[in-house]
């Protein structure tokens, strides 16, 4: 369920370095919108750091924050991925990938030490990034008769809709995106204009 009109994410990639008893923890954070981007970023980091001992990560996707995953990449269970994900939750972020690359320094940190190191590395790279608010958008398609085209366009303009594509041939239709907060009023406007058919497509 979406109870908010917006969500928080980061503006651009960033990285930080944390040293803990000889080990080096490099934190990376990326804005992402799908799992394909996440996979590519992870592959790229492994190419850039082939000699690292671990590439631990967590991510969360979607305006409703329903898709997420975390991975310990060989560290003891729940000592890396979960603490990293916990920092994403703490800042209430979504559409982000956070990776902590570890170079082992020869000294074992223990379970508590690992949890603290990964948590701190994740927190530091989040704090180094610029957090931005994005409005949740709904995408629709409106089908309509030729004689109401001016009414349709007026409703789209009043509700600050962004037109993505349009067809004015055998079938008049417009695909558009609108802020979630404006969607209730827009749906009412098109319901009153009974010769139109509004189709909800997806969340953006």
Domains of the chain: 6-134 (3.30.230.30), 137-203 (3.30.70.240)
Per-residue pLDDT tens for 124-181? 999 999 999 999 999 999 999 888 999 999 999 999 999 999 988 777 999 999 999 9
pLDDT tens column, 67-124: 999 999 999 999 999 999 999 999 999 999 999 999 998 888 999 999 999 999 999 9
Q: For residue range 18-53, what is the model confidence (pLDDT) as tens digits?
A: 999 999 999 999 999 999 999 999 999 999 999 999
What would the 3-class secondary structure string for the chain be?
CCCCCEEEEECCCEEEEEEECCEEEEEEEEECCCHHHHHHHHHHHHHHCCCCCEEEEEEEECCCCCEEEEECCCCCCCCCHHHHHHHHHHCCECCEEEEEEEECCCCCCHHHHHHHHHHHHHHHHHHHCCEEEEECEEEEEEEECHHHHHHHHHHHHHCCCEEEEEEECCCEEEEEEEEHHHHHHHHHHHHHCCCCEEEEEEEC
């Amino acid at each position: 369920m979406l109870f908010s009109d917006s969500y928080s994410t980061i503006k651009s990639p960033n990285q930080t370095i944390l040293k803990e008893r000889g080990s080096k923890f490099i934190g990376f954070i990326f804005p992402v919108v799908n799992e394909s981007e996440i996979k590519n970023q992870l592959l790229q980091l492994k190419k850039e750091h082939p000699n690292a001992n671990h590439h631990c990560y967590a991510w969360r996707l979607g305006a409703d924050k329903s898709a997420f995953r975390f991975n310990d990449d060989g560290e003891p269970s729940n000592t890396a991925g979960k603490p990293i994900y916990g920092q994403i939750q703490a800042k209430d972020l979504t559409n982000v990938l956070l990776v902590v690359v570890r170079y082992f320094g020869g000294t074992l940190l223990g379970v508590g030490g690992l949890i603290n190191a990964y948590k701190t590395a994740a927190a530091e790279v989040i704090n180094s990034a610029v957090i931005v608010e994005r409005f949740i958008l709904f995408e629709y398609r409106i089908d309509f008769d030729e004689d109401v085209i001016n009414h349709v366009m007026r409703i789209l303009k009043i509700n600050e809709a962004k037109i993505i594509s349009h067809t004015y041939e055998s079938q008049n239709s417009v695909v558009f995106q609108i802020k979630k907060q404006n969607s209730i009023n827009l749906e009412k406007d098109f319901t009153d204009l009974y010769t139109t058919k509004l189709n909800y497509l997806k969340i953006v």
